[in-house]
């Protein structure tokens, strides 16, 4: 039941089988009938909870950037009706509810490589919103399970429960996804972005899922990213989007990769830390490789050391120490790179070297919260 | 993690309707009597009456509470062996938990704990606040404090004492809402920790 609610509230990614309502949603649009008013009531309540959620990232600069990309993609008039919430959830997802509430997960921002790709996802979601796909789904659910059960489910769990479930529970309808895919490509092309960015992001997500599965020795399930789930026609969708992108000529098309990196750079360390702590070695390694496409920075080398050390196999610890060493060659390395180096070495039985690295960590970060523990490991329990 | 399980149980009860509430799943742990916990060689002697939550969280993990798990939660991890997780993953296929390894250093254990909580609770709001060496069960171990918020949006604090004895991980944690409850029952936790004894498992 909660899965149904999750699907519904996360309007964006969802598809219903009913014929498309003729009218489009957009600036000033109001719900037309009892069903739609009920749906809006639910998402308004969800938004009320999101507004005060401790998971929402309120950094004005980041919010202004994402909002700017959305407005450029859908146009100034349309963007006035939308409210964007950047939510700290480490998976790949975004959604736009019928009332104009947009949720963008931090895991999406970590995965998207440039502004054009972000625009493509936002354009995809906006198309679901504009074509009122959520209402179709709502009617489907109501028809199948009855309004009473829908309302009961609505009373349980907060907005983020719906979100968490959303990542795992999709069944896509091809027609509405295709509509959103095509809408996203058209919108970003119109905004001057390179339309080829749209199929690329799906390709990346697919590759990451394969990397995750390979490291776990399982078959890829294509389920971790809600935007790109279990349909057998994913390859077909990508092919369609590529064809659409190729058919559109955008003079001086941009991807704005530099602008994207700059806007996101203050947040990479935290977003990546959230990713590393998911116990997903393959996915983490894949994402780091992507982020390092322009070169391995000390921060990325540190993150890679953390990823390998967390898995902690003997050969991982050797590699982790190597990455930390490369990181600390630079003055820009975070003090925690010395900590990681020390722990990786100690765990390999290299006591003297390990203790020396930990002492450097404590010198560089005298107020560390784990100071007492690390001092003991460094052989200096003072 | 405990909050997630409780939430699920409550939701299931509501949805199924008519199912008896959680009461039947609790067992009284009487004050003053040594009791073996988490199907292990770990024994504690409570200074007051506790409630033991019936369903175990994992092979060697169990939780006690005074007022309900969302308000105060003590969890015992009794002898987690190498290759095992702290508790049972709810979605082991897509969201597997990190396993313990006997070669872990104390900071590695802290990180494994943090990862397990983030994954099981579906939360990114988890910070380790302080990590220090501390004797536990007569062995040299680690004591750490942490803060986290789960989907119920309640800010909680926690404290854990852990040590590796005979290659297995023993740990007792306590967590409660930052507001009022954490301070109110932390002494009862400290007494439990002090009373802990580990014996060889049969």
- For chain A, which domains are there? 2-247 (no CATH), 296-377 (1.25.40.10)
| Block mean pLDDT (10 aa), chain A, length 382 | 38 39 77 85 89 96 98 93 94 88 94 96 92 74 54 37 36 74 95 95 89 89 51 73 93 96 95 96 96 92 97 97 97 96 98 98 97 95 56
**CB pair distance less than 8 Å for A53 and B104:** no
Domain of B53, in residue numbers:
2-197
Longest dimension (CA), chain A: 74
Nearest to B124 among A52, A274, A339 (CB): A274
Q: Which of A174, A183, A182, A184 is nearest to A233 (CA)?
A: A174
Number of domains in chain B: 1
- Put simply, whether A168 touches B (Cβ < 8 Å) is yes
DSSP lists the bridge partners of residue B157 as: B147, B176
- In whole angstroms, give the CA distance from residue A289 to residue A157: 37
User: Would you state the pLDDT for residue A144?
Assistant: 63
User: Would you state the pLDDT for residue A167?
Assistant: 32
Beta-carbon count within 10 A of A250 CB: 16
- In whole angstroms, give the CA distance from residue A137 to residue A98: 12
What percentage of residues in chain B have a pLDDT greater than 70?
Answer: 87
User: Would you state the pLDDT for residue A1?
Assistant: 33
Tell me what the mean pLDDT of segment B19-29 comes to.
65
Contact B42, B36 (CB under 8 A): yes
The model's pLDDT over B156-186, given as tens digits with 9 standing for 90+, comes to 999 999 999 999 999 999 999 999 999 999 9
Beta-carbon count within 10 A of A1 CB: 16
The answer to whether residue B173 sits within a structural domain is yes
Tell me what the mean pLDDT of segment B134-163 comes to.
96
- Put simply, whether A152 touches B (Cβ < 8 Å) is yes
- Residue holding tokens 């309540």? A45
Is the ipTM higher than 0.85? The answer is yes
The model's pLDDT over B192-201, given as tens digits with 9 standing for 90+, comes to 999 999 986 5
Give B107's contacts (C-beta < 8 A, 6+ positions apart): A339, A343, A370, A373, A374, A377, B131, B142
Give A331's contacts (C-beta < 8 A, 6+ positions apart): none
Residue B114: closest C-alpha in chain A: A277
DSSP lists the bridge partners of residue B159 as: B145, B174
Give A245's contacts (C-beta < 8 A, 6+ positions apart): A185, A189, A194, A195, A196, A198, A199
User: Would you state the pLDDT for residue B56?
Assistant: 80
User: Would you state the pLDDT for residue A42?
Assistant: 83
The CATH number for B83's domain is: 3.40.1000.10
The answer to whether residue B19 sits within a structural domain is yes
The answer to whether residue B202 sits within a structural domain is no
Contact A8, A138 (CB under 8 A): yes
| Orientation angle between helical segments A281-291 and A268-276, nearest 10 degrees | 160
Contact A26, A130 (CB under 8 A): yes
Q: Which of B194, B198, B159, B151 is nearest to B176 (CA)?
A: B159
**CB pair distance less than 8 Å for A372 and B132:** yes
Instruction: Give the SS3 label for residue A10.
Output: coil
- Residue holding tokens 């980041």? A62
Contact A192, A120 (CB under 8 A): no
Confidence check: pLDDT of B112 > 60: yes
Q: Which of A28, A85, A92 is nearest to A286 (CA)?
A: A92
Sign, CA torsion B37/B42/B45/B47: negative
- In whole angstroms, give the CA distance from residue A86 to residue B143: 34
**CB pair distance less than 8 Å for A158 and B152:** yes
The answer to whether residue B58 sits within a structural domain is yes
User: Would you state the pLDDT for residue B54?
Assistant: 73
Give A250's contacts (C-beta < 8 A, 6+ positions apart): A189, A192, A193, A194, A195
Alpha-helix runs per DSSP H in A133-254: 133-145, 147-154, 159-166, 174-190, 197-216, 234-247
**Rounded to a whole number, what is the distance in Å from the CA of A303 to chain B's nearest CA?**
14
DSSP lists the bridge partners of residue B146 as: B128, B158
Q: Which tokens belong to B79?
A: 């002898």
Chain A residues near residue B122 by CB distance under 8 angstroms: 89, 160, 164
User: Would you state the pLDDT for residue B116?
Assistant: 97
Distance of CA A298 to the CA centre of its chain: 23
The answer to whether residue B49 sits within a structural domain is yes
């Amino acid at each position: 039941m909660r899965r149904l609610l999750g699907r519904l509230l996360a309007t964006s990614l969802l598809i219903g089988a009913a014929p498309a309502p003729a009218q489009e949603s957009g600036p000033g649009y109001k719900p037309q009938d009892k069903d739609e008013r009920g749906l809006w009531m639910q998402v308004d309540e969800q938004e009320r909870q999101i507004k005060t959620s401790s998971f929402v990232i309120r950094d004005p600069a980041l919010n202004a950037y994402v909002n700017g990309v959305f407005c450029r993609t859908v146009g100034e008039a349309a963007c006035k009706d939308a409210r964007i919430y950047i939510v700290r959830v480490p998976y790949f997802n975004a959604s736009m509810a019928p009332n104009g509430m947009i949720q963008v997960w931090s895991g999406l921002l970590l995965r998207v490589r440039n502004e054009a790709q972000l625009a493509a996802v936002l354009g995809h979601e906006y198309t679901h919103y504009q074509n009122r796909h959520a209402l179709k789904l709502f009617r489907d659910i109501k028809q199948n399970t009855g309004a009473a059960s829908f309302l009961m489910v609505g009373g349980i769990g907060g907005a983020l429960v719906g979100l968490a479930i959303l990542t795992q529970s999709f069944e896509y309808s091809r027609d509405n996804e295709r509509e959103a895919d095509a809408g996203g490509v058209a919108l970003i092309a119109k905004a001057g972005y390179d339309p080829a960015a749209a199929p690329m992001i799906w390709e990346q997500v697919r590759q990451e899922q394969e990397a995750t599965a390979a490291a776990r020795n399982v078959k890829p399930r294509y389920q971790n990213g809600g935007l790109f789930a279990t349909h057998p026609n994913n390859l077909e969708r990508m092919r369609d989007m590529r064809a659409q992108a190729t058919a559109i000529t955008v003079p001086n098309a941009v991807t704005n990769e530099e602008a994207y990196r700059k806007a996101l750079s203050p947040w990479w360390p935290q977003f990546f830390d959230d990713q590393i702590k998911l116990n997903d070695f393959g996915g983490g390694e894949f994402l780091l490789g992507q982020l390092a496409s322009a070169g391995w920075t000390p921060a990325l080398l540190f993150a890679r050391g953390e990823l390998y050390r967390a898995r902690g196999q003997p050969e991982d610890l050797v590699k982790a120490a190597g990455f930390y060493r490369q990181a600390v060659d630079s003055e820009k390395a975070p003090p925690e790179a010395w900590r990681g180096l020390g722990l990786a070495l100690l765990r390999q039985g290299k006591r003297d070297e390990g203790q020396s690295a930990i002492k450097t960590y404590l010198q560089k970060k005298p107020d560390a919260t784990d100071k007492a523990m690390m001092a003991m490991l460094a052989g200096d329990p003072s | 993690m405990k909050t997630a399980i409780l939430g699920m149980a409550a939701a299931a009860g509501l949805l199924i309707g008519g199912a008896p509430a959680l009461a039947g799943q609790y067992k009284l742990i009487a004050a003053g009597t040594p009791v073996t916990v988490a199907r292990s060689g770990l024994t504690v002697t409570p200074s007051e009456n506790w409630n033991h939550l019936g369903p175990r969280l994992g092979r060697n993990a169990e939780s006690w509470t005074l007022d309900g798990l969302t308000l105060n939660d003590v969890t015992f991890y009794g002898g987690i062996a190498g290759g095992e997780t702290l508790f049972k993953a709810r979605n082991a296929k897509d969201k597997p938990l990190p396993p313990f390894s006997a070669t872990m250093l104390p900071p590695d254990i802290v990180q494994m704990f943090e990862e397990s909580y983030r994954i099981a609770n579906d939360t990114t709001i988890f910070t380790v606040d302080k990590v220090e060496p501390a004797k536990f069960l007569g062995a040299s171990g680690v004591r750490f404090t942490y803060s986290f918020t789960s989907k119920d949006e309640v800010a909680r604090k926690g404290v854990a004492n852990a040590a590796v004895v005979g290659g297995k991980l023993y740990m007792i944690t306590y967590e409660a809402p930052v507001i009022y409850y954490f301070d109110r029952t932390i002494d009862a936790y400290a007494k439990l920790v002090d009373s802990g004894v580990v014996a060889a498992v049969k």
